[in-house]
Chains A and B, each alone.
Chain A
Amino acid sequence: MYQWDFAPVAANWPLLAQGLLNTLKVTGVALVVGLALGLLFALMRLSRHRGLSWPAGFVIEVFRTTPPLVQLFWFFFALPLIAGIAMTPYIAACVTFSIQSAAFFAEVFRGGIQSIERGQWEAARAIGMTEAQAMKRIVLPQAVKRMIPAFMERAIELMKTTTLVATISYADLLFAANEISQKTFRPLETFTVAALMYFVVITAFSLLARRFERRLAISGEATVH
């Protein structure tokens, strides 16, 4: 019978804590940049100018239909050679996951904006707003409220996807676990602890998201996914 021993893992807790912090850092950056970029992509895709809507559509489709790990490898190994820049695992991770989540957020934004009834647009135009004003003041505020559940779901997905950065040696939680297991020869305990840490953090986020969603539902807002 195998003798479980968590002491070697516990002794390395600063590494795990730093790893978790790095995971949250990449998730946070990708979330903020992804939201801003996603809104831009969505507005471009909804535009009547093909010069705007086609490139946005192309980027969205490519990043939604290729595996994130392939994207990460491309940005880490290929882009520095094309652009002649130095690339660190951290920057590669931030760039990849920002654009990737932007592609997914763009579709959420688009769905939300399109779910707003035409009458809202017409009324806004009728009282003299420009199209941009109608979007900013009337449509987006209503649309964003409907999109919140889909955003939160995506944010949780994003946090799980960031584990991929361990494959390009960024010191996230999974990478730290791998290090510790090689150092202490305790893979069973280390990977179990890492899995549990992810489980606790992600479950906490999804419980919060669910509670928030319920409150939105009570306030009578339909949601889009």
Chain B
Amino acid sequence: MHQWDFASVLANREALLVGAIGTLRIFAICLVAGLSLGFIVGLGRYSRNRLFYWPATAFTEFFRNTPVLVQILWFYFALPILVPFSIGPLAAAAMGISLNSAAFSAEIFRGGIQSIDRGQWDGARAIGMTAGQAMRRIVLPQALRRMTPALTNRAIEIFKMSTLASAVAYVELLQQGKLIASLNFNPIEAYTAVAVIFFVCLWPLVQLTYVLERRLGRSE
């Protein structure tokens, strides 16, 4: 029977803290970059102008249908050959995860905007708003409410995806877990600790999406 000993992990709590900061940093970058780019791409997908529609569609199809890890490795190993500057682990991982989340959230934004009744547009235009104003003041606020559970889910996915950055040796929680495991020969405790940290961080968020979904279901 294995003798569990978390003291060796606790002794390295500073390494885990550094990892947690790294995880939060890449999470924040990808959340902001992924969702804002996703919004732009989503508008392109919604547009009737082919000049916007086709590039946006090609983008979402490509990034939805290739694995994130492949994208991260591509940005890390392949892209530096084409561009004149070097690309670090954080940049490569952030690009891969952001573009992937942009593709997925674009579909959420498009679906949310499309779900708003045509009459809302007509009403806004009838009282003299421009299309941009109607979108900003009437359609988006209603659409965002409907999209909140799906967007929260996306945020959770981004948090989980951040572990993939360890494949290019970016310092985040899993990478630090690896380090601790290899220095102290305690993979059981080190990886269990990392798993528990993720569970503790994400479980409340998951419960929140359930609550949001139920509340939305009741109000609609």
Binding site for B on A (CB under 8 A): 2, 61-62, 64-71, 73-74, 77-78, 81-82, 159-161, 163-164, 166-167, 174, 177-178, 181, 187-188, 190-192, 194-195, 198-199, 202-203, 206
Contacts of A202 in B (CB 8 A): 65-66
Give the residue name and chain of the A residue nearest to B75 (CB): A191
Cβ-defined contact, A70 with B174, below 8 A: yes
CB distance from A111 to the nearest CB of B (A): 11
CB distance from A87 to the nearest CB of B (A): 11
Cβ-defined contact, B191 with A70, below 8 A: yes
CB-CB nearest 6 A-B residue pairs = A77-B187, A187-B77, A160-B67, A67-B160, A163-B67, A67-B163
Cβ-defined contact, B68 with A178, below 8 A: no
Cβ-defined contact, B70 with A78, below 8 A: no
Most B C-beta atoms less than 10 A away, residue of A61, A78, A161, A181: A78
Known: A174-B67, A195-B71, A198-B65. 16 other contacts (CB 8 A): A65-B203, A66-B195, A67-B159, A67-B163, A70-B174, A73-B174, A73-B178, A74-B195, A78-B187, A163-B68, A164-B164, A167-B69, A177-B73, A188-B82, A191-B70, A198-B66
How far is A110 from B16 in the complex, measured between Cα atoms in Å? 37
CB distance from A36 to the nearest CB of B (A): 25
Cβ-defined contact, B69 with A164, below 8 A: yes
Chain B 26-67 per-residue mask, 1 if CB under 8 angstroms from chain A, else 0: 000000000000000000000000000000000001100111
Contacts of B74 in A (CB 8 A): 191-192, 195
> Which residue in B65, B68, B160 is a CB contact (below 8 Å) of A206?
B65
CB distance from A192 to the nearest CB of B (A): 6
| Given A73-B177, A161-B67, A188 contacting B81 (CB threshold 8 A) | yes
> Which residue in A69, A81, A177, A192 is a CB contact (below 8 Å) of B166?
A69
A-B contact count (CB 8 A): 117
How far is A203 from B57 in the complex, measured between Cα atoms in Å? 13
Cβ-defined contact, B188 with A82, below 8 A: yes
- Whether a CB of chain A sits under 8 angstroms from the CB of B10 is no
How far is A122 from B42 in the complex, measured between Cα atoms in Å? 45
Contacts of B177 in A (CB 8 A): 70, 73
- Whether a CB of chain A sits under 8 angstroms from the CB of B139 is no
- Whether a CB of chain A sits under 8 angstroms from the CB of B6 is no
Cβ-defined contact, B195 with A70, below 8 A: yes
Contacts of B161 in A (CB 8 A): 67
20 contacts between A and B (CB under 8 A): A2-B81, A65-B206, A67-B162, A67-B174, A67-B198, A70-B163, A70-B174, A70-B194, A82-B2, A163-B68, A167-B69, A167-B167, A174-B67, A188-B79, A188-B82, A192-B78, A195-B71, A198-B70, A203-B65, A206-B65
